[in-house]
Amino acid sequence: MLAIFDVEGVLLDAEFLPILAEKINKQDEIWAITRQGIEGKINWEEGLKRRIELLRGIDYQTCKEVSDSLKVMTGAKEACNALKAAGWKIMAVSGGFTIMTDRLKEELGLDYVYSNELLFKDGKLDGVTIEVDSDKSKSALIKIKEWNEKKENIVVVVDGANDIRLFDICGLGVAFRAQDMVKELATVTLEEKDLSKLIGLINKHYGLKIPVQTLA
């Protein structure tokens, strides 16, 4: 069994680039492009490059501080702990960056993470290497084949228009506090801001009894 999560807005309760943009007072421009991407109005890769271009020159330390300050989503640790204890594999596929996902991989015990990489030159933000594009399923399928996971045993938890191709490769698609177009394509929706509630949805769908430990 495999659970695949989006990162920003799902495993993390924040969007990295808009917060980073606040440091140089460009949050309005960044949010405008971010929103167009999430709503599927512009090509996602193009939007990402435009946002990085606006932020070029910010120093690495600022990027790291912002990334380390991003809060893990309520219930994310409980959900991941419960799935791991039940023998599941957990993957994250993010349009975000290794600077944030490396920490998350450790904190949540993720088996594998696909994400993009910010490029720095002389300690300043200079560009981006895009490993994960608008079709996140392409990245996910690499590991799915390697791990030999069956489609019906895969759960996908996402929130944005750039995630919906992942629904094509899963048995249970969960829209977590998501855009309307995502909800329409999902198997189930989860509106409550608590990712531990995912376990109940999984138990119901698969007839399982995975217990959830509440963290002190």
Q: Please write the tens of the pLDDT for every residue from 187-201.
A: 999 999 999 999 999
Give the containing element (helix H, strand E) for 79.
helix 76-85
Q: Are 166 and 156 in contact (CB under 8 A)?
A: yes
Confidence bin at 215 (pLDDT 50/70/90): low
For the sheet with 172-176, list strands across it: 124-129, 112-121, 89-97, 2-5, 154-158, 172-176, 188-190
> How do residues 116-136 score in pLDDT, each as one tens digit?
999 999 999 999 999 999 899
| Number of other residues whose CB lies within 10 A of the CB of residue 147 | 12
Alpha-carbon distance of 159 to 183, in angstroms, equals: 8
> Phi/psi of residue 200, each to 5°?
-60, -40
State the average pLDDT over residues 88-92.
Answer: 98
What are the pLDDT digits (tens) for 145-203?
999 999 999 999 999 888 999 999 999 999 999 989 999 999 999 999 999 999 999 99
Distance CA 202, CA 3 (A): 10
- pLDDT attached to residue 161: 83
On the 0-12 / 13-18 / 19+ scale of CB atoms within 10 A, 146 is exposed
Q: What is the pLDDT of residues 28-48, one digit of tens each?
A: 999 888 788 767 788 888 899
By the 8 A CB rule, do 185 and 167 touch? yes
Q: What is the reported pLDDT for 39?
A: 74
Residue matched to tokens 């590991």: 143
% of residues, the chain, pLDDT over 70:
99
Is residue 216 scored above 60 in pLDDT? no
Share the mean pLDDT of the chain: 94
Whole-model pTM over 0.85 = yes
What token pair was written down for 146? Answer: 């390697």
3-state secondary structure of 199: helix
> Could you give the CA distance from residue 23 to residue 28 in angstroms, rounded to a whole number?
12
* Whether residue 205 has pLDDT greater than 90: yes
196: which 2 tokens? Answer: 């531990």
Tokens 């893990």, residue located: 72
Report the distance separating Cα 178 and Cα 120, nearest Å: 32
Share of the chain above pLDDT 90, in %: 86
> pLDDT value at position 29?
92
d(CA 135, CA 65): 29
- The per-residue pLDDT for 40 is 73
| In contact, 196 and 212? CB cutoff 8 Å | yes
